[in-house]
Amino acid sequence: MKDAIDIGYRHFDSAMIYGNEHEVGAAVRAKIADGTVKREDLFITNKVNRKYDYRSSSLFVSVGRS
C-alpha cells in the first residue's frame, strides 16, 4: 500500500471479506502523516458484506477497521 501511494496510486479498495481494511487504513494514515499525500487526494472505497444488517453496528465496525 505505501509503495502504491509512493508511485502515484490514489484509488484503494477495501472490504471486510478481503481482510485488508486495517492495512489500507494504516498505510493511508502513515502516508498522510509523512506528508506524501493529503486525505482529499485519495479515493477509498469499502464494502460491507450483505449478510450484515446495514442499520446495525456492522457498518461502523467495517469503517472503523479502515
Please name every residue paired with 19 in a beta bridge, in sequence order, or none if there are none. Answer: none
Are 25 and 33 a contacting pair, CB within 8 Å? no
Whether 9 is a known active-site residue: answer: no
Whether the full predicted model's pTM is greater than 0.75, yes or no, is no
| For residue 9, pLDDT beyond 70 | yes
Check: CB of residue 35 under 8 Å from CB of residue 3.
Answer: no
**Residue 2, pLDDT above cutoff 80:** yes
> Hey, where are the domains in the chain?
2-65
Neighbours of 14 (CB within 10 A): 22
pLDDT tens by residue, 17-56: 888 888 888 999 999 999 999 999 999 988 776 776 666 6
The catalytic position among 9, 18, 52, 54 is 18
Question: How high is the pLDDT of residue 55?
Answer: 62
